[in-house]
Amino acid sequence: MYIRYNPTVMRTPAIVLALSVFPTISCDKPSEPTQPPATAEPTAEAPEPEAAPPEPEKPKTWADMDRKQRKRFMGLEVLPKMKSMFQEYNAETYGSFKCQTCHGNDWTDVDFKMPNDLYPLPADNPIEAAREYDAEITEFMVEKVLPTTAELLGEQYDKTTGKGEFGCHSCHLVAE
Ligand code: HEC
Ligand code: HEC
Protein backbone atom coordinates (compact mmCIF):
# COMPACT_ATOMS: atom_id res chain seq x y z
CA MET A 1 0.00 0.00 0.00
CA TYR A 2 1.92 3.01 -1.27
CA ILE A 3 -0.62 5.46 0.09
CA ARG A 4 0.54 4.70 3.57
CA TYR A 5 3.95 6.10 2.81
CA ASN A 6 5.03 8.16 5.75
CA PRO A 7 7.79 10.78 5.53
CA THR A 8 8.79 9.93 9.11
CA VAL A 9 10.50 6.85 7.76
CA MET A 10 12.85 9.10 5.85
CA ARG A 11 13.91 10.88 8.95
CA THR A 12 14.50 7.80 11.06
CA PRO A 13 18.21 7.60 10.44
CA ALA A 14 18.68 11.17 11.65
CA ILE A 15 16.76 10.54 14.83
CA VAL A 16 18.52 7.25 15.50
CA LEU A 17 21.81 8.95 14.96
CA ALA A 18 20.90 11.82 17.27
CA LEU A 19 19.71 9.47 19.98
CA SER A 20 22.65 7.14 19.72
CA VAL A 21 25.17 9.96 19.83
CA PHE A 22 23.36 11.70 22.60
CA PRO A 23 24.36 9.55 25.62
CA THR A 24 28.02 9.91 24.77
CA ILE A 25 27.92 13.69 24.58
CA SER A 26 25.75 14.15 27.61
CA CYS A 27 28.55 12.94 29.89
CA ASP A 28 30.76 15.81 28.83
CA LYS A 29 28.13 18.45 28.23
CA PRO A 30 25.20 17.89 30.52
CA SER A 31 23.89 21.36 29.86
CA GLU A 32 22.92 20.64 26.25
CA PRO A 33 20.45 17.78 26.32
CA THR A 34 17.74 19.74 24.52
CA GLN A 35 19.70 20.24 21.31
CA PRO A 36 19.51 16.98 19.36
CA PRO A 37 15.70 16.61 19.51
CA ALA A 38 15.28 20.25 18.59
CA THR A 39 16.90 19.73 15.20
CA ALA A 40 14.85 16.63 14.44
CA GLU A 41 11.37 17.86 15.39
CA PRO A 42 10.43 21.00 13.44
CA THR A 43 10.77 19.39 10.02
CA ALA A 44 7.67 17.26 10.57
CA GLU A 45 5.15 19.05 12.77
CA ALA A 46 3.38 22.28 11.82
CA PRO A 47 5.40 25.21 13.20
CA GLU A 48 3.78 28.32 14.66
CA PRO A 49 0.02 28.30 14.06
CA GLU A 50 -0.15 31.90 12.84
CA ALA A 51 2.77 31.71 10.43
CA ALA A 52 1.71 29.48 7.57
CA PRO A 53 -2.04 28.85 7.12
CA PRO A 54 -3.81 32.24 6.65
CA GLU A 55 -2.27 33.44 3.38
CA PRO A 56 -0.61 30.65 1.49
CA GLU A 57 -1.19 32.24 -1.93
CA LYS A 58 -0.16 35.77 -0.94
CA PRO A 59 2.64 37.00 -3.20
CA LYS A 60 6.02 37.86 -1.83
CA THR A 61 6.78 41.19 -0.23
CA TRP A 62 7.65 44.17 -2.39
CA ALA A 63 11.36 43.66 -1.77
CA ASP A 64 11.20 40.12 -3.18
CA MET A 65 9.00 40.87 -6.19
CA ASP A 66 10.31 40.92 -9.72
CA ARG A 67 9.39 43.66 -12.17
CA LYS A 68 6.25 41.92 -13.40
CA GLN A 69 4.96 41.30 -9.89
CA ARG A 70 5.72 44.88 -8.93
CA LYS A 71 3.70 46.25 -11.83
CA ARG A 72 0.83 44.05 -10.84
CA PHE A 73 1.07 45.06 -7.21
CA MET A 74 1.17 48.74 -8.14
CA GLY A 75 -1.96 48.30 -10.24
CA LEU A 76 -3.87 46.17 -7.76
CA GLU A 77 -2.87 47.72 -4.45
CA VAL A 78 -0.99 51.02 -4.68
CA LEU A 79 -2.91 52.83 -7.42
CA PRO A 80 -6.48 52.17 -6.16
CA LYS A 81 -5.61 52.98 -2.57
CA MET A 82 -3.72 56.16 -3.38
CA LYS A 83 -6.27 57.25 -5.92
CA SER A 84 -9.10 57.19 -3.41
CA MET A 85 -6.90 58.84 -0.80
CA PHE A 86 -5.88 61.69 -3.10
CA GLN A 87 -9.44 62.14 -4.33
CA GLU A 88 -10.67 62.30 -0.78
CA TYR A 89 -8.09 65.01 -0.18
CA ASN A 90 -9.05 66.97 -3.29
CA ALA A 91 -11.53 65.45 -5.73
CA GLU A 92 -11.12 68.24 -8.23
CA THR A 93 -7.35 68.33 -8.51
CA TYR A 94 -6.99 64.56 -8.47
CA GLY A 95 -10.03 63.68 -10.56
CA SER A 96 -7.73 61.70 -12.78
CA PHE A 97 -5.11 60.01 -10.65
CA LYS A 98 -2.84 57.69 -12.56
CA CYS A 99 0.44 55.82 -12.37
CA GLN A 100 1.94 58.93 -13.97
CA THR A 101 0.82 61.16 -11.11
CA CYS A 102 3.65 59.61 -9.11
CA HIS A 103 5.88 58.27 -11.84
CA GLY A 104 5.81 61.22 -14.27
CA ASN A 105 4.72 61.26 -17.90
CA ASP A 106 8.02 59.90 -19.16
CA TRP A 107 7.80 56.97 -16.78
CA THR A 108 8.32 54.27 -19.39
CA ASP A 109 11.29 56.14 -20.87
CA VAL A 110 12.95 56.14 -17.46
CA ASP A 111 12.04 52.51 -16.89
CA PHE A 112 9.83 53.14 -13.81
CA LYS A 113 12.66 54.77 -11.91
CA MET A 114 11.52 56.59 -8.75
CA PRO A 115 11.79 59.36 -7.80
CA ASN A 116 11.34 60.83 -11.23
CA ASP A 117 9.26 63.94 -11.59
CA LEU A 118 7.66 65.01 -8.30
CA TYR A 119 8.26 68.36 -6.62
CA PRO A 120 11.87 68.53 -5.35
CA LEU A 121 12.39 68.65 -1.59
CA PRO A 122 15.68 69.35 0.22
CA ALA A 123 17.61 66.32 1.42
CA ASP A 124 18.03 67.52 4.99
CA ASN A 125 14.62 68.71 6.10
CA PRO A 126 12.03 67.79 3.50
CA ILE A 127 9.01 68.16 5.79
CA GLU A 128 9.97 71.56 7.12
CA ALA A 129 10.62 72.90 3.63
CA ALA A 130 7.39 71.38 2.38
CA ARG A 131 5.40 73.02 5.19
CA GLU A 132 6.76 76.38 4.21
CA TYR A 133 5.72 75.73 0.65
CA ASP A 134 2.26 74.31 1.37
CA ALA A 135 1.33 73.31 4.90
CA GLU A 136 -1.95 71.68 4.00
CA ILE A 137 -0.74 69.20 1.41
CA THR A 138 2.31 68.50 3.57
CA GLU A 139 0.02 67.38 6.40
CA PHE A 140 -1.69 65.04 3.97
CA MET A 141 1.70 63.70 2.86
CA VAL A 142 2.95 63.15 6.40
CA GLU A 143 -0.24 61.70 7.85
CA LYS A 144 -1.58 59.69 4.92
CA VAL A 145 0.53 59.33 1.81
CA LEU A 146 3.85 58.46 3.44
CA PRO A 147 2.54 55.92 6.01
CA THR A 148 0.10 54.24 3.64
CA THR A 149 2.54 53.75 0.80
CA ALA A 150 5.29 52.59 3.16
CA GLU A 151 2.95 50.05 4.74
CA LEU A 152 1.79 48.79 1.35
CA LEU A 153 5.41 48.21 0.37
CA GLY A 154 6.35 46.84 3.78
CA GLU A 155 9.06 49.43 4.32
CA GLN A 156 10.07 51.49 7.37
CA TYR A 157 9.20 55.18 7.55
CA ASP A 158 9.60 58.06 9.95
CA LYS A 159 6.85 60.66 10.14
CA THR A 160 8.99 63.11 12.07
CA THR A 161 11.85 63.36 9.57
CA GLY A 162 10.35 62.00 6.35
CA LYS A 163 13.62 60.16 5.83
CA GLY A 164 14.67 56.52 6.11
CA GLU A 165 13.98 53.35 4.17
CA PHE A 166 10.80 54.83 2.70
CA GLY A 167 10.49 58.60 2.85
CA CYS A 168 9.50 61.75 1.02
CA HIS A 169 12.39 61.13 -1.36
CA SER A 170 11.08 57.74 -2.38
CA CYS A 171 8.63 59.78 -4.46
CA HIS A 172 10.01 63.33 -4.56
CA LEU A 173 13.19 64.45 -6.24
CA VAL A 174 15.96 65.88 -4.09
CA ALA A 175 16.22 69.66 -4.43
CA GLU A 176 19.63 70.90 -5.49
C1 HEC B 1 1.38 56.83 -5.05
C2 HEC B 1 2.48 56.86 -5.95
C3 HEC B 1 2.60 55.74 -6.96
C4 HEC B 1 1.65 55.34 -7.86
C5 HEC B 1 0.25 55.87 -8.07
C6 HEC B 1 2.24 54.27 -8.63
N7 HEC B 1 3.51 54.04 -8.20
FE8 HEC B 1 4.79 52.67 -8.94
N9 HEC B 1 6.17 53.19 -7.55
C10 HEC B 1 6.02 54.19 -6.61
C11 HEC B 1 7.19 54.24 -5.77
C12 HEC B 1 7.42 55.18 -4.60
C13 HEC B 1 8.07 53.23 -6.23
C14 HEC B 1 9.44 52.87 -5.69
C15 HEC B 1 9.22 51.96 -4.50
C16 HEC B 1 10.51 51.57 -3.84
O17 HEC B 1 10.95 52.30 -2.96
O18 HEC B 1 11.06 50.54 -4.23
C19 HEC B 1 7.39 52.58 -7.35
C20 HEC B 1 7.92 51.55 -8.08
C21 HEC B 1 7.31 50.98 -9.18
C22 HEC B 1 7.89 49.91 -9.97
C23 HEC B 1 9.19 49.18 -9.67
C24 HEC B 1 10.33 49.85 -10.31
C25 HEC B 1 11.59 49.05 -10.08
O26 HEC B 1 12.63 49.48 -10.56
O27 HEC B 1 11.54 48.00 -9.44
C28 HEC B 1 7.03 49.64 -10.98
C29 HEC B 1 7.20 48.61 -12.07
C30 HEC B 1 5.89 50.52 -10.82
N31 HEC B 1 6.10 51.33 -9.72
C32 HEC B 1 4.80 50.54 -11.64
C33 HEC B 1 3.65 51.28 -11.39
C34 HEC B 1 2.43 51.16 -12.16
C35 HEC B 1 2.24 50.27 -13.35
C36 HEC B 1 1.53 52.01 -11.59
C37 HEC B 1 0.08 52.25 -11.97
C38 HEC B 1 -0.72 51.06 -12.04
C39 HEC B 1 2.19 52.66 -10.48
N40 HEC B 1 3.46 52.20 -10.40
C41 HEC B 1 1.60 53.60 -9.66
C42 HEC B 1 4.93 55.01 -6.46
C43 HEC B 1 3.76 54.92 -7.18
C1 HEC C 1 4.05 57.70 -2.43
C2 HEC C 1 4.59 58.87 -3.03
C3 HEC C 1 4.74 60.12 -2.20
C4 HEC C 1 5.35 60.25 -0.99
C5 HEC C 1 6.00 59.18 -0.14
C6 HEC C 1 5.31 61.63 -0.66
N7 HEC C 1 4.67 62.33 -1.63
FE8 HEC C 1 4.37 64.34 -1.67
N9 HEC C 1 3.30 64.13 -3.40
C10 HEC C 1 3.05 62.95 -4.05
C11 HEC C 1 2.14 63.19 -5.14
C12 HEC C 1 1.62 62.15 -6.11
C13 HEC C 1 1.85 64.56 -5.13
C14 HEC C 1 0.90 65.32 -6.05
C15 HEC C 1 1.61 65.78 -7.27
C16 HEC C 1 0.67 66.55 -8.17
O17 HEC C 1 -0.24 67.22 -7.67
O18 HEC C 1 0.85 66.47 -9.39
C19 HEC C 1 2.60 65.12 -4.01
C20 HEC C 1 2.62 66.47 -3.69
C21 HEC C 1 3.38 67.04 -2.68
C22 HEC C 1 3.53 68.45 -2.46
C23 HEC C 1 2.93 69.55 -3.34
C24 HEC C 1 3.85 69.75 -4.52
C25 HEC C 1 3.31 70.68 -5.55
O26 HEC C 1 3.74 70.52 -6.71
O27 HEC C 1 2.49 71.53 -5.24
C28 HEC C 1 4.35 68.59 -1.38
C29 HEC C 1 4.81 69.90 -0.77
C30 HEC C 1 4.69 67.27 -0.92
N31 HEC C 1 4.09 66.35 -1.74
C32 HEC C 1 5.48 67.00 0.18
C33 HEC C 1 5.79 65.72 0.62
C34 HEC C 1 6.51 65.44 1.85
C35 HEC C 1 7.06 66.47 2.81
C36 HEC C 1 6.62 64.08 1.94
C37 HEC C 1 7.24 63.26 3.04
C38 HEC C 1 6.63 63.44 4.34
C39 HEC C 1 5.95 63.53 0.78
N40 HEC C 1 5.45 64.55 0.01
C41 HEC C 1 5.86 62.18 0.50
C42 HEC C 1 3.58 61.72 -3.74
C43 HEC C 1 4.30 61.43 -2.59
Dump pLDDT digits (tens) for 46-63.
666 666 665 556 658 999
> Does pTM top 0.85 for this prediction?
no
Does any domain span residue 22? yes
Q: Which residues contact 62 (CB under 8 A, 6 or more apart)?
A: 70, 73, 152, 153, 154, 155
Does any domain span residue 53? no
CA dihedral 131, 132, 136, 141 (to 10 degrees): -30
25, 87: one domain: no
Mean pLDDT of 18-40: 48
Q: Which of 87, 141, 151 to mutate to test the pocket of ligand 2 (most atoms within 8 A of CB)?
A: 141
**How many domains is the chain partitioned into structurally?**
2
Ligand closest in space to the Cα of 94: 2
Whether omega before 115 lies within 30 degrees of 0, making that bond cis, reads: yes
Does any domain span residue 119? yes
